[in-house]
Amino acid sequence: MIKAIYPGTFDPITVGHLDVILRGAKIYDHLIVAVMENRSKTCTFTKEERKQMIEKCVEGLENVEVVIGEGLTVDLAERHGCRIIVRGIRAVSDYESELALATANMNLNNNIETVFMVAKPELSFLSSSVAKEIASFNGDISDYIPARIIKEVSEKLYK
């Protein structure tokens, strides 16, 4: 069985994140989506809220599991028996930062590989930050956020 982990802050999950999850679920026997903390970001949603929103979005995908992760991603991957870390890349700027993370992870545990999934062109502009900015001005976020969680996201972000 090939198990992979897709870590991120998912604050909130976007249609771009969901696309990576759906594509990853077709490739791997078991995909763990890990809600992680990023100390350089201030999150709008709690880890529990983010986990619940992702679970709502992946409902019916039998080989996808959502967890709240703590600590280093490679350690979490090891604990869950994953040998692959899935990361999404939207642009060259993502590649630079993701390469640094992948290299650090390789140094920490060379038994775990990082696999980059390139965003579909029509989703390459998406980010949680952009969605939150649009929502803060009562803009339409339906192209950014999965339909199943628009209500929760809107209630928290619309001012």
- The verdict on residue 157 lying in a domain is no
Q: Is 142 a catalytic residue?
A: no
How far, in Å, CA of 61 to CA of 59, rounded? 6
- The verdict on residue 93 lying in a domain is yes
The active-site residue, picked from 41, 129, 142, 151, is 41
- The verdict on residue 42 lying in a domain is yes
Which residues, including other chains, have CB under 8 Å from residue 86's CB and lie 6 or more apart? Answer: 4, 5, 6, 20, 24, 28, 31, 114, 115, 117
Q: Is 17 a catalytic residue?
A: yes
- The verdict on residue 152 lying in a domain is no
Q: How many domains does the chain have?
A: 1
Cis status of the peptide bond prior to 7, with omega within 30 of 0: no
Per-residue pLDDT of the chain (159 residues; tens, 9 = 90+): 999 999 999 999 999 999 999 999 999 999 999 999 888 788 999 999 999 999 999 999 999 999 999 999 999 999 999 999 999 999 888 898 999 999 999 999 999 999 999 999 888 888 999 998 888 888 899 999 999 999 888 888 775
Q: Is 128 a catalytic residue?
A: yes
Beta carbons of 68 and 48 less than 8 angstroms apart: yes
pTM of the model: 0.94
Q: Is 151 a catalytic residue?
A: no
